[in-house]
Amino acid sequence: MKPLEGVRVLDLSHALSGPTCTNMLALLGADVVKVERPGVGDDFRHYTEHAGMAGMSVPFAGVNTGKKSITLDFKKPEAREVILKLAERSDLLVENFRPGVATKLGLDYDTLRQVNKGLVYASISGFGQTGKFRDWTAYDHIVQAMSGIMWMNGDPDGGPMKVGFPIIDTFSGYMAVIGLLAALHRRDKTGEGDFVDVAMLDSAFSLMGGAIPTYFYTGEVRGRTGNRGYRLVATSETYRTADGYIAIGANHQHQIEAMCRVLHCESLLQDERFADHKSRVRNHEELRMALSDIFREHNGEEIEPRLAAAHVPVAFVRNLGQVLNHPHFKEREIFLDAELPGADDPLKLVGPGFQLGSGRLEAGAVPTLGQHTDEILAGLGYDAGGIEALRAAGAV
């Protein structure tokens, strides 16, 4: 049995954060019904590369595996009736409309709990359902700017720098998973549903972890640390090698000694400027220059496994092609294949990010727009005539 087998999810979300949440739930075995606008569907279907067919972009497919798609026009009363029936039989609901929109559509938590008091309902938004920023429009990079992430990221000598991928869109989706699963646990004990208010901005603070209590405690705004390790010592840094960059994390004396042995620079260890932690901190810049010269003489990809074998924390700075094709993943099969309608080959994607002893999780097929409309309606008790009437009314 998959972890979330039997859990029913009603997915009213679009774009990235909501679908990331429900994609994780689907990977874990939940039964996810994705509701989309007739004709167009989730805007993300039409975003950049198309995989196999129109309305099936790769970014869309990557976060919509194993879901069932039904089209519904929220503004039609006949469609609202369908939504209420779906909400009645669902355990979890996810939406990421702008705050206030769900209420306007009559699909807010207070309305839907009337038909299902055990429903756990998550709303994902930029800044949350309360507070001064509530109605501001958010994109990932806007929240990065607002939250301090951009300010903390980048070169100490340069300006603030956005993280190079939509970190908060994705992360806030995972935060919603945590809120939903925790509230589902309580629901299973008490029968009571819950409302989970997930804000991208609040999620950003959770991801920044210790930076927040440290600021509150010291009142001090820390500068950008660039490529230095968190200990801020020269032996925990990123250096240029003959064939690219390498990151080193030699924090402890035994790691530093091992590093010098592999790099044939034991003379550094004899140098009294670098003899112990205190002197290395005092002479940080000289040590950094010395190590810069040493690493530049080596081939990074060649020394990486030798340093690792000597228990020095190390990684050659890889791009996605270099890491995803590494033999490590021959033994550790974390990538899944999702069937793509219209394409000859399945789409390869990341699994849930962890592996379970109870069995490998698989990714289901990516749905075409409205692929399961009839099947879902039939499951709700609509007969052929009822489905035809919904279609004639433009509700599906």
In the range 114-143, which residues lie near a copy of itself by CB under 8 A? 122, 127-128, 130-133, 136-143
DSSP collapsed to 3 states, 161-205:
CCCCCCHHHHHHHHHHHHHHHHHHHHHHHHCCCEEEEEEHHHHHH
| Residue 268 burial (CB count, 10 A) | 20
Tokens of 84: 């209420």
Q: Name which of residues 356 to 375 contact a copy of itself (CB under 8 A).
A: 356-358
Q: Name which of residues 309 to 328 contact a copy of itself (CB under 8 A).
A: 311-324, 326-328
Window contacting a copy of itself (CB under 8 A); options: 32-40, 226-234, 290-298, 382-390: 226-234
Residue 77 Cβ vs a copy of itself, minimum distance, rounded to whole Å? 27
| Residue showing tokens 């990074």 | 300
Q: Please spell the DSSP secondary structure of 15-76, one letter per residue.
A: TTHHHHHHHHHHHTT-EEEEEE-TTT--GGGGSS-B-SSTT-BHHHHHT-TT-EEEE--TTS
CB closer to a copy of itself out of 6 and 100: 6
CB closer to a copy of itself out of 315 and 387: 315
Window contacting a copy of itself (CB under 8 A); options: 72-80, 210-218, 270-278, 378-386: 210-218
Give the dihedral sign, CA 301/303/304/306: positive
Identity of residue 287: L
- The verdict on 174 binding a copy of itself (CB under 8 A) reads yes
| Residue showing tokens 């690792």 | 308
Of the residues 153, 253, 279, 368, which one makes contact with a copy of itself according to CB under 8 A: 153
Cα Rg of the chain, angstroms = 26
- The verdict on 46 binding a copy of itself (CB under 8 A) reads no
Window contacting a copy of itself (CB under 8 A); options: 33-41, 66-74, 212-220, 373-381: 212-220
| Residue 273 burial (CB count, 10 A) | 12
**For residues 25 and 32, what is the distance between their CA atoms, to the nearest angstrom?**
8
Q: Return the closest-CA partner of residue 246 out of 283, 280, 205, 294.
A: 294
- The verdict on 18 binding a copy of itself (CB under 8 A) reads no
Of the residues 111, 225, 253, 368, which one makes contact with a copy of itself according to CB under 8 A: 225
Residue 166 Cβ vs a copy of itself, minimum distance, rounded to whole Å? 6
Residue 108 contacts residue 101 (beta carbons within 8 Å):
no
**For residues 321 and 319, what is the distance between their CA atoms, to the nearest angstrom?**
6
Specify which residues 31 forms β-bridges with. Answer: 8
Residue 387 Cβ vs a copy of itself, minimum distance, rounded to whole Å? 33
Q: Return the closest-CA partner of residue 92 out of 230, 171, 196, 169.
A: 196
Q: Name which of residues 54 to 93 contact a copy of itself (CB under 8 A).
A: 58-59, 61-63
Of the residues 334, 384, 392, 393, which one makes contact with a copy of itself according to CB under 8 A: 334
Of the residues 54, 350, 392, 393, which one makes contact with a copy of itself according to CB under 8 A: 350
CB closer to a copy of itself out of 294 and 378: 294
Residue 2 contacts residue 359 (beta carbons within 8 Å):
yes
Residue 393 Cβ vs a copy of itself, minimum distance, rounded to whole Å? 30
CB closer to a copy of itself out of 212 and 384: 212
Task: Say whether 299 sits in a helix, a strand or coil.
Answer: coil
Of the residues 35, 79, 93, 198, which one makes contact with a copy of itself according to CB under 8 A: 198
- The verdict on 218 binding a copy of itself (CB under 8 A) reads yes
- The verdict on 302 binding a copy of itself (CB under 8 A) reads no
Active-site annotation, residues = 169
- The verdict on 181 binding a copy of itself (CB under 8 A) reads yes
Q: Name which of residues 230 to 249 contact a copy of itself (CB under 8 A).
A: 230, 236, 238, 240, 245-247, 249
CB closer to a copy of itself out of 175 and 396: 175
Q: Name which of residues 20 to 39 contact a copy of itself (CB under 8 A).
A: 20, 24, 28
- The verdict on 386 binding a copy of itself (CB under 8 A) reads no
Tokens of 82: 């369908």
